[in-house]
Structure 1
């Protein structure tokens, strides 16, 4: 247990002032506004909302500004603020099949009903620095932009469902546990694992997903579908007696299709990996779906090959970047008493070793 120690208040105040000065940067340069961060650093905003478990682009932009662009620190700020908010109800599960898509692609079926919508993506860029962006106030390229497809489009895996070629997913009747309000327990249900992966650090989940592709896990995945768009959020109003729409959120959803040789109880068929995150965070959603599939080895009756991505405790206990940051950075706090005890122990052991050496020499 760590207890605050009095003293050094002036130094701390000066450190805070120095931090504010460093955050602001050169006063001759106009300060970034929250609107600029929200609109022009949208992918960073989306990541902070996803890992902070709070959908509010303005607050995520504020956290990024306050954290000087440190996204993990921004996630920490958002989670801390989230704990102060009252909870007055629960929404219905969102219907991603009714998503108004701005991006929808499939690597398994070329001519899918509803078509492929490329949307805003880096996939087809040349990864060359665009020096035109150095000229402030540049004009946008004259390109026709299509609005979101508001007509519901079916999930790609539904076509495999019809022929029994992919494992069915049972709809949960009970409300799954909320990881933000209840302590995590192992072994965890798939619903709880998916929550942990959604909140998990993108880099960590990405590395685990990459490891499964290199053979450290039982996955050979195809992106069945990746879709990005807005969905309606509904909740029951007791005074009205029915559900009403209270807003919309942007989501990224990914379903991967994975090989499965079958087991004693299941015929050979494809299985799914699933990822769902706030905003346009497709790299995270794809990585999440690969790790989700790797963690399902036991329920599918597969053999454990000992891959890190298959180890539920390893994944769940190390995915959270806020928890990891807290444990990592606490070692820079004063540990004077602990170190002095270690120092005394080393000195005692060295003295005993030296005495034994001298005694042996005599």
Structure 2
């Protein structure tokens, strides 16, 4: 049964104050500003924007600060705020081929047209703690690039398309408008556009784990990173009164094109298949994991065995959302007094019935007296 608790509201208000105190830490230490979080924790900001489904570095930084660095809580905060925003319209589809690139690599072609652009990456660091950062040093400015990057670099997959060595990347039949999972619940079966939207805001850790599983044999996938791009792209909105699209802003994106395994049938010869990932901000690991998951969930439509966890569309889509998973897990902290008492009473009754039905233990048979020789032994 529920037990009346006095002072519950006061306890909750005190909890708020304790949380503020815990989040602030030692008052003698200068407080973090949103500008510091935004500029010096860009990867955390990128993840919160991507999984919060809202590209706004300032608000993402605010959410991180409010959540005391708990990124899943920050994602929850940003998603909740997003639901309060009005929608003015839909932008023109982004053309990632015209991105202003800061990083662009391919593991399939060494001399890729446009060149390999390493950009900012941890790939070549030694993963040793850099104690010089304790001194809060100022980084030396980089020299200007000797060769400016091309305004537009061709996608690596376009090279394969010219020889018909990769499946075509075509819109779905009838080109239906994609569903908006931020306003509509997920339903199955889900077309690829909906699946990709779900994966774009899915938990990075979950996708990383599932993508890793496909490479270890649970999905029979042998991918190549055809191309990974990071940079900024213009966002355009078509204005009916003007009759053309106008640029309304610029967003940072990370895109990953995976190519995997041969596929073919009587109509089409053997060719590579695709996996695709696109996320807000700088998030290569998330974009790569998304591409691996996308390819794994296409197993059935490509005529492959779909018996691995990553091939199960329902499992992947319904369990990849960290906000929903966190809420369902943490609801166990809420009062379950009635449920527990019901289970407790049932358990006591079953044990009592079992003990009552158990036969009485038989009397032990008398043992013969030991002989003198046995006693001495």
1:296 pairs with one of 291, 295, 298: 298
Cα-to-partner distance string for 1:184-227 (whole Å, 9 max, x where unaligned): 11111111111111110000000000001101112101100000
Distance in 1 of aligned mates of 2:6 and 2:102: 54
- State which structure, 1 or 2, has the greater radius of gyration over its C-alpha atoms: 2
Does residue 242 of structure 1 match 2:244? yes
Give the secondary structure class of the aligned counterpart of 1:259: strand
Q: Summarize deviations over 1:95-154 as a string: whole Å, max 9, x none.
A: 001111000000001111111110000011111111110002x12135325498351111
Number of aligned residues: 356
Shift of the alpha carbon at 1:324?
0.2
Q: Structure 1 residue 293: deviation in Å?
A: 0.6
Q: How does 1:220-239 map to 2 (within 5 A)?
A: 220-239=222-241
DSSP-derived class of the 1:129 partner? coil
| 3-state SS of 2:17 partner | helix
Aligned runs of 1:7-86 on 2, under 5 Å? 8-86=8-86
Contact kept? 2:263, 2:273, Cα under 8 Å:
no
What is the rounded CA distance, in whole Å, between the counterparts of 1:169 and 1:307 in structure 2?
25
Contact 1:46 1:281 in 2 (8 A): yes
Give, in whole Å, the separation in 1 of the partners of 2:63 and 2:162.
46
TM-superposed CA distance for 1:336, in Å, is: 0.5
Deviation at 1:175, TM superposition (A): 1.5
Distance 1:125 1:271 in 2: 32
2:284 aligned to which of 278, 282, 285? 282
Alignment partners' CA distance in 2, 1:240 and 1:230: 25
Q: Which residue of 2 aligns with 1:125?
A: 125
Cα deviation for residue 171 of structure 1 reads 2.7
Whether the 8 Å CA contact 1:251–1:277 is kept in 2: the answer is: yes
Q: Residues 274-326 of structure 1: CA distance to partner in whole angstroms, max 9, x if unpaired?
A: 0000000000001110111111111112222x111101111001000000000
TM-score by length of 2: 0.91
1:311 is matched with which residue?
312
Q: Which residue of 1 aligns with 2:199?
A: 197
Range that drifts further, 261-270 or 144-153: 144-153
Q: Partners in 2 of 1:284 and 1:336 — Cα distance?
A: 40
Q: CA RMSD in A?
A: 1.7
Report the secondary structure of 1:322's partner residue: helix
Give the secondary structure class of the aligned counterpart of 2:182. coil
Query: 2:140 aligned with 1:141, yes or no?
Result: yes
Aligned-residue offset at 1:361: 6.7
Partner residue, 1:357: 358
State the alpha-carbon separation in 2 of the partners of residues 148 and 228 from structure 1: 16
1:47 & 1:17 partners in 2: Cα distance? 28
Deviation of 1:246 after TM superposition, in Å, equals 0.3
Helix, strand or coil at the partner of 1:38: helix
Query: What are the Cα deviations for residues 6-63 of structure 1, in whole angstroms up to 9, with x where unaligned?
Result: 9501000001000000000000000000000000000000000000000000000000
Is 1:100–1:148's contact at 8 Å kept on the other side of the alignment? no
Distance between the aligned counterparts of 2:254 and 2:261, measured in 1? 23
Name the CA distance, whole Å, in 1 between partners of 2:148 and 2:204: 26
1:324-351 per-residue CA deviation (whole Å, 9 max, x = no partner) reads: 0000000011110111111110011011
Summarize deviations over 1:230-280 as a string: whole Å, max 9, x none.
111011223322211100100000001111242344421111110000000
Counterpart residue number, 2:370: none
For residue 210 of structure 2, what is the aligned residue in structure 1?
A: 208
CA distance in 2, matches of 1:148, 1:336: 66
1:336 match:
337
Unpaired runs of at least 5, structure 1: none
Aligned to 2:151: 151
Query: Which residue does 1:105 correspond to in 2?
Result: 105
Q: Which secondary structure does the structure 1 equivalent of 2:300 belong to?
A: coil
CA contact (8 A) 2:114 2:150 kept: no
| Distance in 1 (alpha carbons) for counterparts of 2:102 and 2:241 | 35
Partner SS, residue 75 of structure 1: helix
